């Protein structure tokens, strides 16, 4: 995938590393093509969403020791990646951002996070259109019915591998204290197979290039 000079300029502005001369160039280009301001706004929005997801991933990754390539030492704690919101520890700007971006984009493709897209049903029945929005809706389907259908189809297809105990997030009294409203998280463990793994580095000309990499083996969920 080729990135134009404008793409790289927008990227540098969005990540906060553009020089004064590059800002001047942006204003000059936008005077001839005002649509560039919209592209910049979109790039800033996407960069911020990626940074939020990356910061969450980094908090988790900091607690996990991954195998380093031969001849590579762990980075000093002071080595950080500057982003539009806060900082992230990194092996290097190219390596760490590549891993985070690859992970976030993979989750986006699978249907998680702020980039959520439709997920293939992998064996679930086709959902026919109906006034209420439920498959085969005859007025008797409930959310619990559909959840049971998901469990059954997910287990049969191998996509759903486990359901962990619900985690209570909050409670509050309702109906003058006679009942309670409970917010809880129902964790499902799902499996998916993706084609290949890539990190994203910058070449000598400043272009972003994908590099096929080896997926590290994470421990702790061998039972699945």
Q: Which residues contact 36 (CB under 8 A, 6 or more apart)?
A: 6, 10, 26, 29, 30
pLDDT of residue 63: 54
Residues 58, 89 contacting (CB under 8 angstroms)? yes
Task: Output the furthest CA–CA distance in the chain (Å, rounded).
Answer: 68
Residues 75, 59 contacting (CB under 8 angstroms)? no
pLDDT of residue 132: 42
The DSSP annotation for 154-209 comes to HHHHTSEEEEPPPEEEEEEEETTTTEEEEEEE--EEE----S--EEEEE-TTS-EE
pLDDT of residue 104: 46
- Sign of the CA dihedral running 163, 166, 169, 174: positive
The conformation of residue 77, written as its DSSP 8-state character, comes to: T
Residues 9, 25 contacting (CB under 8 angstroms)? yes
pLDDT of residue 113: 42
Which residues of the chain are under the pLDDT cut of 50? 1, 66, 69, 72, 74-134
The domain spans of the chain are: 5-60
């Amino acid at each position: 995938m080729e990135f134009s000079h404008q793409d790289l300029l927008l990227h540098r502005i969005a990540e906060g590393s553009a020089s004064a001369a590059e800002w001047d160039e942006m204003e000059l280009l936008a005077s001839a093509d005002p649509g560039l301001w919209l592209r910049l706004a979109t790039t800033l929005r996407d960069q911020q969403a990626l940074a939020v997801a990356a910061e969450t991933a980094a908090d988790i990754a900091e607690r996990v020791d991954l195998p380093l390539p031969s001849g590579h030492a762990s980075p000093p704690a002071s080595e950080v990646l500057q982003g539009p919101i806060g900082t992230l520890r990194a092996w290097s700007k190219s390596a760490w951002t590549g891993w985070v971006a690859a992970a976030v984009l993979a989750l986006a493709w699978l249907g998680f996070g702020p980039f959520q897209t439709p997920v293939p049903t992998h064996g679930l029945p086709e959902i026919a259109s109906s006034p209420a929005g439920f498959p085969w809706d005859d007025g008797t389907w409930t959310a619990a019915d559909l959840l049971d259908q998901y469990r059954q189809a997910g287990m049969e297809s191998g996509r759903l591998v486990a359901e962990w105990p619900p985690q209570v997030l909050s409670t509050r009294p309702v109906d003058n204290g006679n009942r309670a409203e409970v917010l809880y998280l129902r964790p499902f463990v799902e499996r998916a197979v993706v084609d290949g793994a890539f990190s994203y580095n910058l070449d000598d000309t400043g272009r972003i290039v994908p590099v096929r990499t080896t997926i590290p083996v994470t421990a702790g969920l061998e039972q699945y």
